[in-house]
């Protein structure tokens, strides 16, 4: 008689859409699923429903334990809702949001019944803070299951108690590592660290699809654990080993803690150069043991609020969102999927492209003209994959299976079945024409010809083609397996389907993609060239490579300008400077191209030749200034203008030319929108991420202020510093912004 009543009692009062729960014996299984999105976030709706459901669970005396689980495949909770934070107008608003989150998590932490978090898929940011507030965590050992606190990458800090709970769980050093790097931690590592208690293996298909059954299985295991905790069969405290106890004791000592904070602070200071406020705040928030909890949480929430309002955080969030946009194909589904890819040239670039392609299951041909070249290229691909095996990100068997997608050859045999050819041969228009003609003689009609050139206009290359609609530019960045950006260049004649195909291949290779118009240097190279020209002039004016590097890195560039030139290759830089100099005239002037040419003549081609601005030893960090290069610079010495040679002037001379050229690219429709401009500059060229890209920099720095600075330089150096029309428009009208 009681049953129907009971069931009625458990029915929700009103339709809940994000959170539901059912009773399995005396365990409340609370299921999360945001029907409006691909991922679960701690949105306002989710939080409200959670609070409501938890209220019901806690007030139900029949419930002895609870399980949180997401029914969304591949995602537990991916974090807080970024839009929610972005929508806040003031730091007070964000502070109150953070405080709401904390309150809920604190309730969960102090729950009278044990709560088990059953984690499958991404458990990030607020999601992880939520999970660690629970008493027990079970996670699937799936590749998709990742735990982490990526807030720092958005210029924030773990806003809902993570800074306090994490160190208790994984120790202070581990917690700092997680919070300051924001890196993702795989389930097996999380188990080792003590972040999760128990692992569940992902299942294959059974009577249902694998993913569905795995979630069900995870729930079954979690329910078992929850029951076990409730009737004291499963212990919550793990017996600590001797080393753990020792470590805890040592960490508990005041001076030791102080030393840790100091070391971490110094390290952070060194790496961020004070440009990123979030890591500093994370340490600060952590370093206040003894403050009463209530006060502490207030202090802490307000820090979160302040951070969310910083321009750095806005910039980083903007980059995150831009990156999401640039990981979609906006050109539709290609008519024919590329399954077989041919790459011409097994050099650093060619082999790099091969590596990221075979990795994703593309059948790849690597063609070169010499056996030595092929051997070197194949070795590069093997090494790239084998390094992953060493890091245990890949099994040796998977490596071999992946490598079976690669075939290296000297001739054009089997090009007849290729769907796309990417050439990565020497940057010389005549060689490009030659291979284009050779390739077109053997490939099928639907096959796309893509050129991986960094500066030659695609239409010039396509001029030799019988089918220019199938010709496109795919500009990869070196090293291809590390650099995320791919710049795709379309000409007037490139067909939309060709673009769609190129984008789809790029996405498959895991790239962030910007699609730009054709022209000398396209977008990225064209922005970089004037900055490097200025860098050469700065060097000629007697600023040494070390100081130049220090000036650029302290502005936020991850790699200093002199080091960057060495990395790109002095020969490439010389080539580009000369080509673009011809194309754009005196505006691309500045340093003397002969400096670069002389260096190339002497064999100082940068890191690849062991000597450039620096001399490179065997170790990665082992480098010293190349005295011979300094000799050359002395030969071409220019007098510095004292009026514009302070540290900050030099920085702005470099940056303003970069930014002005970027804005000009937008003005000339090389760029389609500022978002792609920002993404290209940050991910391809290392523009300071804390500034969010050239366009966001103009927005936050102020166009008028920038124009003012540039005018000062223009008076001395002329048109190299003339602000472009679009920049002037923005300067005149401060309400004009690139980003809304």
Partner 1 sequence: MASMLLNSLRNCPVCPAWAVQSAARSLSTTVQLQAQVQTKSKKTLARPNVKNIVLVEGVRTPFLLSGTTYSDLMPHDLARAALQGLLHRTAIPKDVVDYIIYGTVIQEVKTSNVAREAALGAGFSDKIPSHTVTMACISSNQAMTSAVGLIAAGQCDAVVAGGVEFMSDVPIRHSRKMRKTMLSLNKAKTLGQRLSLLGSIRLAHLSPELPAVAEFSTSETMGHSADRLAAAFGVSRVEQDEFALRSHSLAKKAQDAGLLQDVISFKVPGRDIVSQDNGIRPSSMEQMAKLKPAFIKPHGTVTAANSSFLTDGASAVLIMSEEKALAMGYKPKAYLRDFVYVSQDPKDQLLLGPTYGTPKVLERAGLTMSDIDVFEFHEAFAGQIMANLKAMDSDWFAQTYMGRKSKVGTPPMDKFNLWGGSLSLGHPFGATGCRLVTTVAHRLQKEGGQYGLVAACAAGGQGHAMVIEAYPK
| Contacts to partner 1 by CB under 8 A | 198, 200-201, 203-210, 213, 217, 221, 224-225, 395, 397
- Residue 210 CB, nearest distance to partner 1 (Å)? 7
Of 177 and 220, which CB lies nearer to partner 1 in the complex structure? 220
| Angstrom distance (rounded) from CA 350 to CA 348 | 6
CB 436 within 8 A of CB 425: no
CB 115 within 8 A of CB 28: no
Q: For residue 386, give the 3-state DSSP assignment.
A: helix
Of 31 and 227, which CB lies nearer to partner 1 in the complex structure? 227
Q: Ramachandran region of residue 109, left (φ > 0), alpha (ψ -120 to 50) or beta?
A: alpha
Q: Which two tokens stand for residue 48?
A: 């409200």
Q: Is residue 512 reached through a cis peptide bond, with omega within 30 degrees of 0 on the bond before it?
A: no
The separation between the first and the last C-alpha atoms of the chain, rounded to the nearest angstrom, is: 61
- Residue 360 CB, nearest distance to partner 1 (Å)? 19
- Measured CA to CA in angstroms, residue 316 lies from 86, 284, 307, 688 at distances of 12, 21, 12, 10
- Residue 135 CB, nearest distance to partner 1 (Å)? 17
Phi, psi of 514 (to 5 degrees): -115, 140
Of 197 and 511, which CB lies nearer to partner 1 in the complex structure? 197
Helix (H) or strand (E) segment spanning residue 379: helix 371-390
| Angstrom distance (rounded) from CA 374 to CA 52 | 63
CB-CB neighbours of 735 under 10 Å: 5
Q: Going by DSSP bridges, is the β-strand pair 185-186/146-148 parallel, antiparallel, or unpaired? A: antiparallel
Q: For residue 612, give the 3-state DSSP assignment.
A: coil
- Residue 219 CB, nearest distance to partner 1 (Å)? 12
CB 498 within 8 A of CB 448: yes
| Angstrom distance (rounded) from CA 258 to CA 260 | 5
Of 204 and 254, which CB lies nearer to partner 1 in the complex structure? 204
- Strand pairing partners for 515? 488
- Could you list the beta-strand ranges (E) of 432-568: 448-451, 471-476, 485-490, 512-517
Of 275 and 389, which CB lies nearer to partner 1 in the complex structure? 389
Of 119 and 503, which CB lies nearer to partner 1 in the complex structure? 119
- Residue 211 CB, nearest distance to partner 1 (Å)? 11
- Residue 134 CB, nearest distance to partner 1 (Å)? 18
CB 700 within 8 A of CB 315: yes
- Residue 672 CB, nearest distance to partner 1 (Å)? 43
Of 205 and 361, which CB lies nearer to partner 1 in the complex structure? 205
Annotated active-site residue 216? The verdict is no
| Angstrom distance (rounded) from CA 77 to CA 67 | 14
CB 467 within 8 A of CB 421: no
| Angstrom distance (rounded) from CA 446 to CA 443 | 8
For 206, which DSSP code?
S
Q: Which two tokens stand for residue 592?
A: 């003397």
Of 71 and 198, which CB lies nearer to partner 1 in the complex structure? 198
Closest to 21 in 3D by CA, of 64, 57, 46: 57
- Residue 217 CB, nearest distance to partner 1 (Å)? 5
CB 738 within 8 A of CB 696: yes
| Angstrom distance (rounded) from CA 156 to CA 497 | 40
Q: For residue 354, give the 3-state DSSP assignment.
A: helix
Question: What strands lie across the sheet with 27-32, from one edge to the other?
Answer: 19-24, 27-32, 65-70, 115-119, 136-140, 198-200
Q: Which two tokens stand for residue 236?
A: 């919550």
Q: Where are the alpha helices (DSSP H) in 480-560?
A: 496-508, 524-540, 545-555
CB 344 within 8 A of CB 350: yes
| Angstrom distance (rounded) from CA 66 to CA 370 | 65
- Residue 40 CB, nearest distance to partner 1 (Å)? 25
Of 328 and 392, which CB lies nearer to partner 1 in the complex structure? 392
Of 225 and 458, which CB lies nearer to partner 1 in the complex structure? 225
- Residue 48 CB, nearest distance to partner 1 (Å)? 34
- In DSSP notation, 388-404 reads HHHTTSS-HHHHHHHHT
Of 213 and 608, which CB lies nearer to partner 1 in the complex structure? 213
Of 74 and 174, which CB lies nearer to partner 1 in the complex structure? 74
Burial class of residue 597 in the structure, from the number of CB atoms within 10 Å of its CB (0-12 exposed, 13-18 middle, 19+ buried): middle
Q: Which of 211, 219, 487, 676 is catalytic?
A: 487
Query: How many degrees, rounded to 5, is the angle at CA 338 between CA 464 and CA 143?
Result: 140
Q: Going by DSSP bridges, is the β-strand pair 623-625/614-616 parallel, antiparallel, or unpaired? A: antiparallel
Closest to 658 in 3D by CA, of 693, 690, 689, 692: 693
- Could you list the beta-strand ranges (E) of 518-662: 614-616, 623-625
- Residue 438 CB, nearest distance to partner 1 (Å)? 40
- Residue 213 CB, nearest distance to partner 1 (Å)? 6
Of 126 and 202, which CB lies nearer to partner 1 in the complex structure? 202
Residue 26, CA atoms < 13 Å, CB-side half-sphere: 14
- Residue 140 CB, nearest distance to partner 1 (Å)? 12
Supply the residues annotated as catalytic: 487
């Amino acid at each position: 008689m009681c049953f129907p009543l009971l069931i009625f009692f458990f029915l929700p009062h009103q339709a809940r859409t994000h959170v539901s729960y059912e009773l399995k014996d005396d365990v409340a299984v609370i299921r999360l699923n945001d029907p409006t999105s691909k991922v679960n976030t701690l949105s306002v709706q989710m939080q409200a429903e959670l609070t409501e459901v938890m209220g019901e669970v806690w007030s139900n005396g029949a419930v002895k334990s609870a399980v949180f689980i997401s029914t969304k495949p591949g995602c537990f909770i991916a974090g807080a809702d970024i839009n929610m934070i972005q929508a806040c107008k003031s730091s007070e608003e964000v502070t109150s949001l953070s405080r709401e989150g904390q309150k809920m998590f604190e309730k969960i932490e102090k729950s009278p019944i044990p709560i088990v978090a059953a984690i499958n898929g991404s458990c990030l940011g607020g999601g992880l803070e939520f999970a660690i507030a629970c008493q027990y965590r079970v996670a699937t050992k799936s590749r998709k299951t990742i735990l982490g606190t990526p807030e720092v990458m958005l210029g924030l800090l773990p806003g809902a108690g993570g800074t306090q709970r994490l160190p208790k769980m994984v120790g202070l050093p581990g917690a700092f590592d997680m919070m300051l790097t924001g890196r993702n931690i795989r389930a097996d590592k999380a188990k080792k660290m003590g972040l999760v208690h128990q692992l569940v293996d992902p299942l294959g298909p059974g009577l249902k699809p694998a993913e569905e059954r795995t979630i069900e299985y995870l729930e079954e295991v979690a329910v078992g654990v929850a029951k076990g905790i409730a009737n004291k069969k499963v212990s919550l405290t793990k017996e600590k080993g001797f080393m753990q106890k020792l470590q805890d004791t040592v960490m508990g000592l005041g001076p030791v803690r102080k030393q840790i904070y100091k070391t971490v602070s110094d390290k952070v200071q060194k790496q961020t150069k004070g440009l990123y406020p979030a890591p500093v705040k994370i340490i600060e928030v952590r370093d206040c043991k003894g403050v009463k909890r209530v006060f502490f949480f207030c202090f802490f929430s307000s820090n979160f609020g302040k951070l969310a309002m910083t321009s750095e955080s806005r910039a980083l969030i903007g980059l995150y969102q831009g990156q999401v946009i640039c990981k979609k194909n906006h050109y539709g589904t290609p008519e024919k999927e590329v399954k077989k890819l041919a790459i011409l040239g097994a050099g650093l670039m060619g082999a790099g492209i091969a590596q990221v392609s075979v990795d994703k299951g593309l059948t790849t041909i690597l063609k070169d003209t010499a056996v030595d070249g092929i051997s070197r290229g194949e070795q590069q691909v093997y090494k790239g994959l084998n390094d992953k095996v060493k890091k245990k990100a890949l099994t040796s068997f998977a490596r071999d299976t992946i490598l079976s997608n690669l075939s290296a050859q000297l001739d054009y045999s089997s090009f007849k079945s290729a769907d796309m050819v990417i050439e990565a041969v020497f940057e010389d228009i005549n060689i490009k024409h030659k291979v284009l003609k050779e390739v077109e003689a053997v490939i099928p009609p639907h096959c796309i010809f893509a050129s991986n050139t960094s500066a030659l206009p695609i239409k010039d290359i396509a001029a030799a083609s019988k089918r220019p609609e199938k010709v496109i530019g795919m500009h990869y960045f070196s090293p291809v397996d590390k650099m995320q950006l791919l710049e795709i260049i379309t000409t007037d004649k490139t067909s939309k389907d060709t673009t769609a195909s190129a984008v789809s291949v790029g996405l498959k290779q895991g790239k962030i993609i910007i699609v730009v118009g054709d022209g000398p240097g396209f977008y990225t190279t064209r922005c970089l060239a004037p900055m490097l020209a200025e860098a050469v002039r700065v060097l000629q004016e007697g600023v040494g490579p070390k100081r130049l590097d220090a000036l650029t890195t302290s502005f936020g560039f991850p790699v200093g300008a002199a080091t960057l030139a060495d990395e790109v290759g002095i020969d490439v830089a010389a080539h580009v400077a000369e080509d673009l100099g011809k194309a754009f005239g005196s505006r691309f002037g500045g340093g003397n191209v002969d400096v670069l040419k002389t260096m190339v003549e002497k064999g100082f081609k940068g890191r690849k030749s062991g000597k450039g601005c620096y001399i490179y030893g065997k170790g990665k960090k082992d480098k010293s200034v190349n005295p011979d290069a300094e000799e050359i610079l002395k030969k071409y010495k220019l007098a510095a203008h004292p009026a514009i040679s302070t540290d900050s002037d030099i920085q702005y001379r470099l940056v303003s030319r970069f930014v002005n050229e970027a804005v000009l690219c937008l003005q000339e429709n090389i760029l389609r929108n500022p978002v792609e401009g920002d993404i290209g500059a940050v991910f391809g060229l290392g523009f300071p991420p804390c500034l969010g890209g050239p366009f966001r920099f103009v927005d936050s720095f102020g166009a008028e202020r920038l124009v003012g600075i540039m005018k000062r330089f223009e008076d001395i150096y002329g048109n190299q510093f003339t602000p472009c029309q679009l920049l002037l428009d923005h300067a005149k009208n401060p309400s004009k912004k690139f980003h809304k």
